[in-house]
Amino acid sequence: MGIFIVYWVIAVLLFVIGIVQIIIKAVRNQPVKPGIQLVIASVIMLVIGAGACAVILSNLKIGH
């Protein structure tokens, strides 16, 4: 269960760092491509993680 928490924390951190990079580099008129790549990676992690959680939850049996 702990690995799921670490996974989601990393996904959120990548997203936040990517957004901050985009804002800072846009203000300084620098290329924003690295920030956009981080945001895209975090969105991909979000989709994969949500899919994995859905599969795990669908395999849980309620009752007997």
Residues 52, 11 contacting (CB under 8 angstroms): no
- Whether the CA torsion 38, 17, 10, 15 is positive or negative: it is negative
Q: What is the pLDDT along the chain (64 residues), one digit of tens a residue?
A: 688 889 889 999 999 999 999 999 999 999 999 999 999 999 999 999 888 888 887 877 665 5
Answer yes or no: pTM beyond 0.85: no
Q: What is residue 2's predicted lDDT score, i.e. its pLDDT? A: 81
Give the residue among 17, 19, 11, 15 at the shortest CA–CA distance from 50.
Answer: 11
